[in-house]
Copies of this chain bind each other. A is one copy, B any other.
Amino acid sequence: MASREFSLIDNYFKGKGHQRKDVVLGIGDDCALLSVNDNTLLAVTTDTLVSGVHFLADMDPRAIGHKAVAVNLSDLAAMGADQAWLSLALTLPDANDKWLAEFAGAVIEVCDYYGVTLVGGDTTRGPLSVTITAQGKIPAGKQLTRSGAKPGDWLYVTGSLGDAGLGLALLQGREEASSDHREYLINRHCYPTPRLLAGQALRGVASSAIDISDGLASDLGHILKASHCGANLFLDKLPLSQALLGTVSLEAAWHYALGAGDDYELLFTVPEAQKGALDTALAHCGVKHSCVGQLRGGEGISYLNHGQTVDLNVCGYEHNWS
């Protein structure tokens, strides 16, 4: 499940009812972890995208198909899982052949790209929404969870942050950008890249991980809460794209990076002793990584710019109720 999942699941379902012994990790992380044999854990995640909530109602069906798959694969990446299978539940107001062909084409294309097989599904009539359940496999004991971080661990992110949030703002007419930047930023919003190779490479290296769906501040908060730590975040180290910096002010860029969400980059922590191993592990994953902070005792996030404390009021992107 994505971090965007809100407290309703926790309040009404978490820890309730019978807990099977083969459930290694239940509700509350990016995926559930289920024991299927002595050597392998199954990682399972479910995410729903609702029209008008998680994507604009007139969004290109190819983007909806791509994004629905990508956000679920991103949850697998955040656990360090090897992606394997998808189930699709599609609810549609009517059977529009062109829409369906484009949506399905995008779903199949992303699945093929990542070597995932669509194994089942259900199609129903109703208001447009897409629910995907993705499954992957992890060598037992190698999973990345939110709860393994310790004070002193370094905080990293993959890729660049804030692009997807600005892309949405451009689509909604809240911001304007040059045509080059605009295309890049909107693509980052519509076609996120699940960091599967990076997640797998982080097994045995990272002490915790999560994917950034709600914004760095909010998703870091999940790691801090689960790991009982606080963090210093280095604003001057945030990886911000030329397109983001070329379109909005530095302070606005910080806010997009920290609060806008939908980046689907990985946020992870690495113990000091593993910093060397990290560069080797991620050398061939096709995505850069940046050290953006360090965990400490206490709680909450302190924002620093070139070593100076900055008072920021970051509002996380909220798809849902909280």
Contact = CB atoms under 8 A, between A and B. Distances in A.
A120 B18 contact: no
A275 interface: no
A170 interface: no
A104 B18 contact: no
Contacts of A5: 121-123
A310 interface: no
Contacts of A107: 13
Interface string A90-118: 11000100001101100110011001111
Contacts of A76: none
A16 interface: yes
A11 B174 CA distance: 39
Q: Size band of the A side of the interface?
A: 35 or more
A126 B22 CA distance: 33
A121 B1 contact: yes
A47 interface: yes
Given A18-B112, A32-B85, 7 more contacts: A12-B103, A13-B104, A18-B117, A22-B84, A26-B120, A44-B133, A50-B91
Interface of A: 1-2, 4-6, 8-9, 12-13, 16-20, 22-23, 26-27, 31-32, 34, 36-37, 40, 42, 44-54, 84-85, 87-91, 95, 100-101, 103-104, 107-108, 111-112, 115-127, 129, 131, 133, 135, 137, 319-321
